[in-house]
Structure 1
Amino acid sequence: MIPRPLRHELHRTHLLDRVDRSDETLILLVAPSGFGKTTLLAQCARQEDRRAAWLSLNADDRDPAVFNTRLLRALQTAFPDAQLPDGRPEFVDARACARALNALNDHVLLALDHLHLAHVNTLRWLAEFIQDLHEGHRVLAAAPRRPALPLPTAFMAERLLLISGDQLRFTPQETQLYFERRGLTPPNLTDTRGLSGWPAGLALLAADAHGTFSPLDLVRDLLQRLPEPVRSALPEAATLEEWSEAGARDAHLSLPSGWLQAVQDAGLPLTPTAPDRFVPLQAVRDVLREDLSRSPDRAAQLYHRAAEQAEARGEPLLALQHYERGGHAQPAQVLASRLCSEYLWRIDYPSVLSTLESLRRWQTLPPPLEAALALALIRTDRVQEGETLAATLLERTLEPDALRALAHAAHRRGDRHMQLHYAQLLAQHALTRSQRADAARLEVAALLRLGRPQDAAARAEVLLDTSQALHPLEWAGTYFTLHTVYEDLRDPALSEQHLRSALDLYESMHSHQQIAVCLNDLAILRGQAGAHDEAQQLVTRALHLIGDSMPDLRVVYLETQADLLLWNADFSGAEQAYAHALTAAQERHLAPLVTRIQLGRAHALTQLGAFADAHTALEGATANLPPTDQPLRATLNFMRGVLAFAQGHGEQAQTLWQDAPAEYQDLRQAYLGLSAAQPTPPPLPGHLRRAHSATLRPHTPTRASTPGATSNLTSSPAAPPPTLHLHTCGPMHATLNGTPLHLPFSRAAELLAYLTLTGEASRAQIIRDLWDGSSETRVVNYAKLTIRKLRAALQDHLPFNPLPFEENLYALSPLLTVHSDAADILAAEHSTDPDLLRRAVHAHTAPFMPALEGEWAEATRERLQAATQTAGLRLIGHADLPEAISTARHLLRLDPLHEDTYLALLNAHERAGDPVGAQGTYREYERMLTREMGTHPPEALRARYVT
């Protein structure tokens, strides 16, 4: 039974909202007692818009049979319409239980309190059960420590929300509200900060003190309950981060045996971290440090010893804090210098930053450390702050790392001339091999962007001869530099060889940021080589690696994902991906990336025929173009030429292509050959041919099924792959392997059509397009139910998951072959194949799913209508007269006001030598203009047909 609200219970609105908005299946509340886990669990279960099953475990539930019996009873009581499996509870299949709940039209919430009491076999059962729950269902569990649920790592990363004690603490606003509701004057923030929002401590303060005492007074009162030998020696424990009997002995503290048990008996607020190990609340530390400061010599001695022990344990930042508390400036500075030297050697700039910012709080940094701080600020995205610090330092003294910092700042701004200037100065004044190597790499990068690849190659080869004596990271950096050089020199084999050498070294050193950078470039090389799946896998691996810790690099990967789609001729998907990457780049103020992404987006839009939007994207690229980046400027001009060519402005395109980048010379020749009507254009790299397929108009063979895709679907090797056919022009109907597919409601049909056309989409994209972007909980829950129901409708006929949710994206499984009339229509838009054009025209018998409403549905109708008109006009232009007439009549049924259709039909009659038919078509055209638009045909036509 769900517990009733307590008398003075505080409604945890922000935590409830977070749980409500989350997409995770499993939500764990993990915190010591007194943090309000059961209270929050009950508040979630009492939400008015859902039913919930509640089970509070006790000692009897260590028996799996007892647990399963009680759990099934709780589920059956809360969800009586669920067809839960029968049988002895300890043998009930966990996955069958999950499938029964998946079939419900309600979202299931299962609350499990005190989960730490569960048996290991119970946890295995729960893991299987949770893993098979679909969208909208949730399991909320509370425990004082994280339960050992045997769930896959990928599941835990994607579908687990962990709410810890830090998040369960009262916020300052909640603390104020809590006191007000109890009729008490809210205490000052300084009076409650020592309790760190500990709910039980605040409740004790509100109930017992009535605002008379501060939390520190409360702690002092508790300390007075200690035996005198413990009380007098306990301030020394302020030097311990974690309290344990063994830790106190190792630190040579004068605490008597049994002191920790005495502290617990006195009721001091401690957080258990392991058996016989605890962390005291900040209020306890504050009181003890204050008491310890009354014995300055002893405090200095203990803090110095604690700092040395922290160093020995590999906790240098903690050691710096101890040195600070003990007032030991000189050893702190020595430690910081040694640490920064090691961190810079390993190219670990976040650690440099945290170390020096900690030290700068209480003492002035010497120039070498100040320069290192400037460099770390720049390399961790705080460019302006670091550049100002480095420039100010150089006014006083010449520090190589300050030059290094300014060179990196210029690189981030895209100012290649200043980057080259500072890199060359750094090479002259470098004191370490690391500084010399970094100078050479910065110089090579600047030379490349200034259009001097041969100079860059010569400088990089010299660097390779000396780098092997450096740290492996420096050696790897040199290989990476050579990769970029040979990439610019258009030698993909050597470029990939050096890149893989760099990646191997970075992986051996567990250098995540550099690994991610290498994976990005390797994905680009593999994508250009036509290994699209391998490239996508590399991108996926890298995105997992960087998480949210490298926001700038994440933007680069978003761009790479869009590039791969473009090179695979998925122009619609590429345009959407570029738009997503553009938003992220603009949020991060990455001007060079904005230019590159806008160029890619303009390319995709050009291939889609959206010329006005492509022009706007090119204008955006121009506005953000770094002034000294000549290769990027040349690429911009080349794309302007492609757009001009696509619009039929051949001479303008040729002018813009005069200074084409080296990597586009073959492509330039292909376009020039096409302009000159050469029958055989020069061969192109596959990725360029696919990326420019629409404007180059190559022959497009019918895409075959992926070899081996069905090998695991059936025991018979000759069995055909499962095939889904969708008819969307008119009322939608679908067949799966020739059998009509029943979809539970119209939204499921719309979602199926949406995924067929978009390929893949996040839940946010689905809600944006199909539910007008509403963030209402009701809408989000309905979207989850729709996804779950669509998956269930398909899965009834398939031996695999037809609608997986991977990398936060939904997509129809690649094991499912999908054919749709909409796809046929869009495929014909840029084709000249008569059969493909004919199929597209005949496929569009009615507007796209006319019962649907909303922007996405309307935009899709317009897109399909435009594609059908384009394909039909192209077919009329090449067909014989009977087919031209029937095609034109079909187009006019779709759009009776389409002038180009009348004009194409006129041309067809004239081409066939049929003046009577031409006269009849002209009169029909004239009546339409007069009746519908109040205009007349052009004068030239009137002169030809009006006698």
Structure 2
Amino acid sequence: MIPRPLRHELRRTHLLDRIERSEESLVLLIAPSGFGKTTLMAQSARQGGRRSAWLSLSPDDGDPAIFNTRFLHTLREAIPEAHLPDGPREFIDPRSCARALNALDDHVLLTLDHLHLAHVNTLRWLAEFVQDLHEGHRVLAAAPRRPDLPLPTAFMAERTLLISGDQLRFTPQETQAYFERRGAYVPDLVETRGLSGWPAGLALLAANAHGTLSPLDLVRDLLSRLPSKVRAAFPEAATLEEWSETRARDAQLSLPDGWIEAAQDVGLPMTPVAPGRFVPLQAVMDVLREELGRTPERAAQLYRRAAEQAEARGEPLLALQHYERGGHALPAQTLATRLCSEYLWRIDYPSVLSTLEQLRRWQPLPPPMNAALALALIRTDRVQEGESLAASLLEQELEPDALRALAHAAHRRGERQMQLHYAQLLTQHARTRSQRADAARLEVAALLRLGRPQEAAARADVLLDTSQALHPLEWAGTYFTLHTIYEELRDPVLSEQHLRSALDLYESMHSHQQIAVCLNDLAMLRAQAGALEEAQGLVGRALDLIGSSMPDLRVVYLETQGDVLLWNAEFGGAAQAYAQALGAARQRHLSPLITRIQLGHAHTLTQLGDFPAAQEALDDAAANLPPTDQPLRAALTFTRAVLAFAQGQLDEARTLWQEDTSDSDLRRAYLALLDGQSGSVPLPGYLRRAHSVTLRGPAPPIKPAPAFPAAEGFTLHLQTCGSVQATLNGAPLHLPFSRAADLLAYLALQAQASRADIIRDLWDGSNDTRAVNYAKLTIRKLRAALEDHLPFNPLPFEKNLYALAPALTVHSDATLILDAEHSADLDLLRRAVQAHAAPFMPALEGEWAEAFRERLQGAAQAAGLRLMARAELPEAVATARHLLHLDPLHEATYLALLDAYEQAGDTVGAQGTYREYARMLDRELAARPAAPLRERYAR
């Protein structure tokens, strides 16, 4: 029985929506007691749209036979019309149970509470049951720890949704709404942070109208229920971030064996992370640290031991926390100094930042550490904060890393002269090889952006000599700089060679940020070389690698996506990619990137013919242009010229291109075109494609839609003109309702489609829950109807796409008509005209149906006209009457019939056809036949 709503129950709307909109068949709620698992499942079961069956497991369900008996009884009570299998309960076939539910006209939600009480054989039975459930059905289960379901990984990875305790916690907004609903004082985050959104703790706090209980009193109450021997030693668990018997023994704590089980028995809130390993709630740790602090000497001893063990395990940040809690300042600073030296050597700025920010919370940092912190802030996108810290340091003393930080800040803002200035100062005052190498790289980068590539190349030779003795990351950085130089000098072979050397070194050191940068640049080089699919894969891999951790770099990679699509002449996709990159650049206030992205966007819009939007993009690019960035200024001038050329403003285009004195093949190609010398300048393929419209180049080839291989043995014939009819191996196929027939025809013609595509085209894009559920039911019923006649899954769902199985050969009248549109085969033409006896699926509405209906009618008319031109007069007349029956206003049919009569010498027939044609024009269009026809026939 579904539990009744609690009096002050909070509706978990976002979780309910996530469950409702998920495509997974199995939803697991895994969290300790008090996290609201049962409440959420009851709310889900009470929602409309599905038949619900509820089963709470008890210790007796450890017997698989008892579980099966109760399981089937629950289903029969909730869904009496389901044809569930009979037989001994312990041997009931799970797949037969699933098939019985698949045959229903409703969706079923089966809820299983306390799943951890199930026997391993029961879990195996459930896995097979879930595996055979089709669209719309769902199993919702809860347990304090993840049950050992023997799920087939390949199949169930996409079929299981896991909601953990972290997701079940109340959000700050939910906490406020819950307290307001109960009419209680809404606490601030300081009061509730120890509870971390724990629903049971918050419920206790909300019920405490007089403020006599602390948020931690519930934890203290649970601790008081521990056995006395465990309770006496339990504060020592505060030194363990993760609880396990093994870690307690390794830390030489006084906790007796069985202390974890004792904590579980009293209901202490802990999150299981692995068998025998748990992470306690923050409120629990707060209470225990407070209690441990009452014995300062013991606390200092345990925290120092915990810190040393954390260091040995390779967890330095945790070690710093333990040193802080134990008050051990000197070892903490020694550890931080060593860590920062290693992190800077590896160019791992996020780790430098987290280390130093943690340390400065409880002790002041010496100047070298503050300079390293400033550099780390800037290199992790907190530029303003890091620049302010570096500038204040330089007022006191000259720290090389402070100069380094300011050079990187200038680089981020696009201030190349300032970048060059600080880089040259850093060269003079560097104390380490790493600082000297970074100074050289910053100087080279500034020279390149200032349009001085030859000076940059000379400086890079020095850089290569100094870097080889450094860390591999420094050496990799040198190779990367050489790549940028040769790219600027237009030597793609050497550029890619040095880039791949850099990538190899970065990958050997697992430097993810730098790997992503190399992948991005390699994607551009490969796209320019024509390997466009490889390029898209590389930039996609770069985006996946950084996720949301480096927002500035993410903007660059989004821009690269636009570039790759532009170089493939996929202008629509490029415009969308640039728009996405532009939004991200504006959010980060990255003016140089805004200019660069808008230049690509403007060029794309020019190729699409949207000249006003292209002009707006260029104006925005100019507004964000850094004043000293000469290469960007030249690119802006060039793109303005392309837009002028596209609009026919040839004199302005020539003037703009003549202002640019660079030796550019593309510039010379446009100037040659202006001089009437089309194609006289050879261009790389990616430039020809990107400028294919303005240079009048050939359109990119259209990729054929993927086709499924057909196999002999099972043939489906579909009639779609008129009402849909289907035969399978010659026998009529009964479809459960009209929408299933529509879906079958749609998949036969589309080859493959996502569920979103199906809903958009057959349900007019409705996101209404009822429409989505009806679509799932239709898919399931169609699959079941086909499965009755086939020994395989006829409608698989793979890679989020539905498609008719490759083993099913499909023939349809629609495909026949489309094939005949440009054919010269008389027999094919005749069969196509006969096949189009009625409009395509006339009862189906929506944009897709209308567009395909028009497309098919056009193909049938083209086939009919070609047949009339070659057929004898009787067949031509019959064909014309057939076409006019479907479209009485089709003028080309009247004119073709006139030609047929003329060719046959039948003047009477021609006169009659002319009069019929003239009446149609007058009646329907208020028009007359063309003058030559009137002169010939009107007399």
Q: What is the TM-score with the length of structure 2 in the denominator?
A: 0.74
CA distance in 1, matches of 2:719, 2:580: 30
Q: Secondary structure at the match of 1:693?
A: coil
Give the CA deviation at 1:713.
Answer: 4.7
Structure 2 partner of 1:744:
739
Supply the distance in 1 between the matched residues of 2:538 and 2:581 (Cα, whole angstroms): 18
Do the aligned residues in 2 keep the contact of 1:185 with 1:211 (CA within 8 Å)?
Answer: no
Aligned to 1:317: 317
Which residue of structure 2 aligns with residue 301 of structure 1? 301
| Structure 2 residue 644 is the aligned partner of structure 1 residue 644 | yes
User: 1:474 and 1:491 mapped to 2: Cα distance?
Assistant: 23
The alignment status of 1:635 with 2:635, answered yes or no, reads yes
* Conservation of the 8 A alpha-carbon contact between 2:26 and 2:160: yes
Shift in CA distance, 736/377, structure 1 to aligned 2, threshold 3 Å: farther
Aligned to 1:11: 11
Change (3 A) 1:440 1:723: farther
Deviates more, 1:135-144 or 1:582-591: 135-144
Tell whether the 8 Å contact from 2:85 to 2:96 is kept in structure 1 after alignment.
yes
Whole-angstrom distance in 2 between the partners of 1:223 and 1:281: 13
Aligned pair 1:253/2:253, yes or no?
A: yes
CA offsets 1:572-609 (integer angstroms, 9 cap, x no match): 22222322332233233333332232222222222222
**Segment drifting more, 67-76 vs 292-301:** 67-76
Q: Report the counterpart of residue 520 of structure 1 in structure 2.
A: 520
Bigger CA radius of gyration = 2
Map of 1:829-844 to 2, 5 A cutoff? none
- What is the match of residue 683 of structure 2? 684
| Residue 237 (structure 1) shift | 3.2
Q: What amino acid is the match of 1:698?
A: G
Superposed displacement of residue 210, structure 1: 7.8
Contact kept in structure 2, 1:634 and 1:659, CA below 8 Å: no
* Mapped contact 1:767–1:783 kept (Cα < 8 A): yes
Work out whether residues 184 and 210 of structure 1, in 8 Å CA contact, stay in contact via their aligned partners in 2.
no
For 1:208-232, what per-residue CA distance to the aligned partner results, in whole angstroms no more than 9, with x for missing partners?
Answer: 9985332444444555555665544
Q: Tell me if the contact between 1:195 and 1:215 (Cα under 8 Å) persists in the aligned partners.
A: yes
Residue pair 2:761, 2:846 contacting (<8 A) in 1 also? no
Equivalent position amino acid for 2:565 in 1? L
SS at match of 2:162: strand
Aligned mates of 1:548, 1:32 — CA distance in 2: 30
1:552 equivalenced with 2:552 (yes/no): yes
- Cα distance in 2 for partners of 1:725, 1:234 equals 75
1:832 aligned residue: none
Task: Return closer, same or farther for 1:273/1:617 CA change in 2, 3 Å cut-off.
Answer: closer
CA distance in 1, matches of 2:711, 2:409: 59
How far residue 31 of structure 1 moved from its aligned partner, in angstroms, is 0.8
Deviation readout 1:499-534 (Å, 9 max, x if unpaired): 222222222222222222222222222222222222
Report the residue type matching 2:653 in the other structure: A
After superposing the two structures, state which structure 1 stretch, 239-248 or 207-216, moved more. 207-216
CA distance in 1, matches of 2:849, 2:418: 51
Question: Given the superposition, is the C-alpha separation of residues 205 and 628 from structure 1 closer, same or farther in structure 2, using an over 3 Å criterion?
Answer: closer
Distance 1:366 1:793, change over 3 A: farther
CA distance in 2, matches of 1:535, 1:794: 41
User: Which whole-Å CA distance do the structure 2 matches of 1:665 and 1:794 have between them?
Assistant: 62
> Whole-Å Cα distance in 2 between the matches of residues 753 and 579 of structure 1?
35
- Correspondence 1:900-915 to 2 at 5 A: none
Q: 2:623 aligns to what?
A: 623
Q: How does 1:498-509 map to 2 (within 5 A)?
A: 498-509=498-509
Deviation at 1:744?
3.5
Matched with 2:694 is 695
Which residue matches 1:657? Answer: 657
AA aligned opposite 1:335:
L
Does the CA-based 8 Å contact 2:748-2:804 persist in structure 1? no
Q: Which amino acid aligns with 2:684?
A: P
SS of the residue corresponding to residue 657 of structure 1 reads: helix
Q: Structure 1 residues 746, 223: CA separation in 2 closer, same or farther (over 3 Å shift)?
A: closer
Distance change in 2, residues 1:475/1:793 (3 Å): farther
SS in 1 for 2:28: strand
- For 1:248-397, what aligned pairs fall within 5 Å after superposition? 248-255=248-255, 268-274=268-274, 276-397=276-397
Cα distance, 1:85 vs structure 2: 9.9
Quick one: structure 1 residues 658 and 35, their matched pair in 2 at CA, closer, same or farther if it must change by over 3 Å?
A: same
Offset of residue 545 of structure 1 = 2.8
CA distance in 2, matches of 1:736, 1:589: 61
Closer/same/farther in 2, CA of residues 85 and 375 from structure 1, 3 Å limit: farther
Q: Give the drift of 1:242.
A: 3.4
Distance 1:34 1:391 in 2: 51
In the alignment, structure 1 residue 666 sits paired with structure 2 residue 661 = no
Q: Percent identity?
A: 72
For residue 368 of structure 1, report the CA deviation from its aligned partner.
Answer: 1.4
Q: Distance in 2 between matches of 1:733 and 1:584?
A: 48
CA distance in 2: counterparts of 1:786 and 1:236, whole angstroms: 59
Give the letter for the 2:388 counterpart: T
Q: What amino acid is aligned across from residue 538 of structure 1 in structure 2? A: L
Name the CA shift for 1:400/1:197 in 2 (closer, same or farther; >3 Å): same
C-alpha distance in 1 between matches for 2:470 and 2:375: 20
Q: CA deviation at 1:569?
A: 2.0
Query: 1:238: which partner in 2?
Result: 238
Aligned equivalents of 1:229, 1:497: Cα separation in 2 = 67
- Opposite residue 689 of structure 1, the aligned amino acid is R
Pairing of 1:772-791 with structure 2 (within 5 A): none
* Aligned twin of 2:870: none
Aligned position for 1:168:
168
The verdict on how the C-alpha distance between 1:274 and 1:642 changes in structure 2, with shifts beyond 3 A counting, is: closer
> For the structure 1 residues 122 and 610, does the alpha-carbon distance in structure 2 shift closer, same or farther, using more than 3 Å as the test?
farther
Are 2:45 and 1:45 equivalent residues in the alignment?
A: yes
The aligned counterpart of 1:928 is: none
* 1:35 equivalent in structure 2: 35
1:710 shift after superposition: 6.0
**What secondary structure is seen at the aligned counterpart in 1 of 2:694?**
helix
How far apart, in 1, do the equivalents of 2:604 and 2:548 lie? 28
8 A Cα contact 1:403 1:425, kept in partner? yes
Query: Judging changes above 3 Å, is the alpha-carbon distance between structure 1 residues 574 and 63 closer, same or farther for their aligned structure 2 residues?
Result: farther
For 1:184 and 1:783, the matched residues in 2 are separated by: 44
Whole-angstrom distance in 2 between the partners of 1:354 and 1:689: 48
| TM-aligned CA distance change 1:500 to 1:159, over 3 Å | farther
After TM superposition, the structure 1 = structure 2 runs for residues 488-507 of structure 1, keeping only pairs within 5 Å, are 488-507=488-507
Per the alignment, in what secondary structure is the counterpart of residue 480 of structure 2? Answer: helix
| Partners of 2:783 and 2:793 within 8 A in 1 | no
The Cα offsets for residues 249-302 of structure 1, whole Å up to 9 and x where unpaired, read as 433334556655665666654555555544444344333333333333332222
In structure 1, how many angstroms separate the alpha carbons of the residues matched to 2:643 and 2:791?
45
Matching residue of 1:604 = 604
Closer/same/farther in 2, CA of residues 426 and 226 from structure 1, 3 Å limit:
same
How many pairs align? 839
Q: Which residue of 2 aligns with 1:430?
A: 430
SS at match of 1:695: coil
What secondary structure sits across from 1:557 in the alignment?
helix
Residue pair 2:49, 2:107 contacting (<8 A) in 1 also: no
Deviates more, 1:460-469 or 1:489-498: 460-469
Change (3 A) 1:200 1:713: same
Query: 1 CA distance for matches of 2:253 and 2:292?
Result: 12
Counterpart contact for 2:450–2:629, Cα < 8 Å: yes
TM-align CA RMSD: 5.5
State how far apart, in whole Å, the 1-side matches of 2:36 and 2:761 are.
39
CA distance in 2, matches of 1:754, 1:410: 57
**Which residue of structure 2 lines up, in the alignment, with residue 883 of structure 1?**
none
Separation of aligned partners in 2, 1:723 and 1:695? 47
- 2:910 is aligned to none
Work out whether residues 45 and 52 of structure 1, in 8 Å CA contact, stay in contact via their aligned partners in 2. Answer: yes
Letter in 2 for 1:671: Y
Q: 2:429 & 2:241 partners in 1: Cα distance?
A: 43
Distance 2:424 2:783 in 1: 60
Stretch deviating more after TM superposition (45-54 or 697-706): 697-706
Distance 1:616 1:549 in 2: 32
What residue identity is the alignment partner of 1:666?
Answer: D
